Structure 1
Amino acid sequence: MKHAEQESSEMTFFEHLDALRPHLVRGALAIVIVGIAAFLCKHLIIDTVLFGPKSADFPTNRMLSWIGAEWAHLAAWLNATFGTAFDTDVAAFQIASDRFQVINTSLAGQFNLHMKISLMAGIALAMPYVLWEFWRFVRPALTPREIAGTRWFVASVSLCFFAGLLFGYFIMAPLSINFFANYQVSSEITNMIDIGDYLSTVILVSMACAFLFELPLLIYFLTRMGLVSAAFLKRYRRHAFVVLLIISAIITPPDIFSLILVVAPLYGLYELSIRLAARIERRRLREETAGTA
């Protein structure tokens, strides 16, 4: 009798869809509302935020200029003291915003780009609320222990997402723009960068870092499901480093400084994932020991 009642209480596929629909509607509505707000704040979003990494006053670019000036002093001292031939030109460390112009080559290019940026801003800024709606949908199917274990799901995912987004925006985007703007195959060539290419670089690099920073949480849930273990992660540590190195080489400019600057925090996240997996396994072992006692 109990089994029959349990089967009758289980929801069908279409009933799950009906339960999911209001959460999807509210999530989509949040994205639209935030997107409209971003559309109206175009000067803040585009001029200040998205064009920030190409400005000489951007914090990262000021740091690069300081590094360049210090390197020029050190190189000059080494050349004078030891007769070396280090390059003292600081141009490679400075943003080359005066070396390229951002242009639009399509009639509806600026409007379409405005719509795209507003949508991306809506998705990024509404992410915590969308995740909260998703958690509300799956919560009735969770046990009290699972609910307690996922209590910080929305906050943790959002924190990792925005941390990666800020890392990509303040570190990766300026480095990418600085490298490609300074790269010159001939002095006869003037860089005239399409606005779509420039903003796609800033947005895609920032979003890629945002999702890469979700690695510890991914490992956390895979460990809870029993699909990976701390021993497995330790065994394939070298393989993971090579994979992260390849990913970093893809999303960074082809210079060793940018590569190290990206692969270091990514590998740190992998090591953090190992510690999280080991902690989960110890907690599971304590619960199993307490259950058998």
Structure 2
Amino acid sequence: MVKQQKEMSFLGHLEELRWHLVRSAAAIFILAIVFFIFAQQVYDYFLLAHLKSDFITYQLFCDFFNLFGMESDFCNISFADKKLQSIKVTSQLMNSIWSSLILGVIVAFPYIIWEMWRFIAPGLTENEIKKSRGFIFITSALFFIGVFFSFYVIAPISIQFLYNYQITDAIQNSFTLESHIGLVTNMLLGVSILFELPVVIYFLTKIGLISPEFLRRYRKHALVVVLIVAAIITPPDVASQIVVAIPILILYEIGIRVSKRVIKNQEKNAK
């Protein structure tokens, strides 16, 4: 059965888009309110979890290096004397509001993608709708894999390095609440968005901007870009940058195969 679609004016489309954006914003704010209400638990068990020496990643890294008879700083981590500073009257309140909004965006991501799909779906054919049903799941899965990877791999490595990096004993590290939370939330969002690379490649191939040959030809250039991006969203240590770069390069290779499949399907449909 062919889906009946009614013609809409430009203003009608704008009105429809507005309501999709309103519902997405409402979802974010509702989740943000929940996170704000439970701010203490959110900070203790999530945003400040990396400041606990028994954090699971530190234990796993310690066991991994011990397995090969190697010494590791991850076995002697202690943040007991590392207290975050709140130097403004409104710091804790504004930080909890801002972090709640960011976490609201992260948790509401599947719903936001669903609202975007609902806006685009009326303009698709029945066959295109059928083929795009897995879009929300794949996009959300990649995003949350990025969140998981950032929280359990990138963040602990970065925090362990930065909290122990010292040029000279004459300088004492004393970090603010804003700098720590900013580091964690920026990595969560930044790495998660980078994990959407195959989805971006899919759409760019779909509209004809790139091709598998283009991606293969500029693979070396992509490596340089990935390393630059990794350097921006991670601390200035080689280990963290490599840890970020490796999965992104893997996703780039997956993107090449995705692009190849899109071209193949387009050629098949053109016959």
Both proteins in one fold, TM over 0.5: yes
- Range with greater deviation from structure 2 (124-133 or 280-289): 280-289
C-alpha distance in structure 2 between counterparts of 1:254 and 1:70, whole Å: 28
Alpha-carbon shift at residue 203 of structure 1 (Å): 0.5
Q: Give the conservation status (yes or no) of the 8 Å contact 1:205–1:251.
A: yes
Give the equivalent residue in structure 2 for 1:45.
Answer: 42
Amino acid of the residue matched to residue 57 of structure 1?
Answer: D
C-alpha distance in structure 2 between counterparts of 1:103 and 1:67, whole Å: 33
2:126 to 123, 144, 150: 144
Alpha-carbon shift at residue 70 of structure 1 (Å): 5.3
Q: Give the conservation status (yes or no) of the 8 Å contact 1:168–1:206.
A: yes
Give the equivalent residue in structure 1 for 2:220.
Answer: 238
In the alignment of these two chains, the number of paired residues is: 266
Q: Give the conservation status (yes or no) of the 8 Å contact 2:198–2:252.
A: yes
C-alpha distance in structure 2 between counterparts of 1:254 and 1:96, whole Å: 21
Gaps of 5+ in 2: 1-5
Q: CA RMSD for the aligned pairs? A: 1.9
After TM superposition, the structure 1 = structure 2 runs for residues 71-220 of structure 1, keeping only pairs within 5 Å, are 73-74=69-70, 90-91=72-73, 94-220=76-202
Alpha-carbon shift at residue 167 of structure 1 (Å): 1.0
Q: Give the conservation status (yes or no) of the 8 Å contact 1:56–1:95.
A: yes
CA deviations 1:87-134 (Å, max 9, x no partner) are x6x447643413522110010110001111111111111111121112
* Aligned partner of residue 282 in structure 1, secondary structure: helix
Q: Give the conservation status (yes or no) of the 8 Å contact 2:58–2:74.
A: no
Give the equivalent residue in structure 2 for 1:270.
Answer: 252
* Aligned partner of residue 209 in structure 2, secondary structure: coil
Distance 1:11 1:205, change over 3 A: same
Gaps of 5+ in 1: 1-8, 75-87
C-alpha distance in structure 2 between counterparts of 1:95 and 1:256, whole Å: 20
* Aligned partner of residue 8 in structure 2, secondary structure: coil
* Aligned partner of residue 80 in structure 2, secondary structure: helix
C-alpha distance in structure 2 between counterparts of 1:126 and 1:48, whole Å: 20
CA deviations 1:132-177 (Å, max 9, x no partner) are 1121122111122321232222212111111111111111111111
- TM-score for the superposition, normalised by structure 1: 0.85
Amino acid of the residue matched to residue 114 of structure 1?
Answer: S
- TM-score for the superposition, normalised by structure 2: 0.91
Alpha-carbon shift at residue 248 of structure 1 (Å): 1.4
1:13 to 5, 10, 24: 10
- Range with greater deviation from structure 2 (51-60 or 186-195): 186-195
Q: Give the conservation status (yes or no) of the 8 Å contact 1:55–1:61.
A: no
* Aligned partner of residue 174 in structure 2, secondary structure: strand
- Range with greater deviation from structure 2 (19-28 or 157-166): 19-28
Q: Give the conservation status (yes or no) of the 8 Å contact 2:51–2:79.
A: yes
Amino acid of the residue matched to residue 43 of structure 2?
Answer: I
Alpha-carbon shift at residue 239 of structure 1 (Å): 0.7
Amino acid of the residue matched to residue 273 of structure 1?
Answer: G
Alpha-carbon shift at residue 206 of structure 1 (Å): 1.3
C-alpha distance in structure 1 between counterparts of 2:29 and 2:58, whole Å: 33
Alpha-carbon shift at residue 275 of structure 1 (Å): 0.7
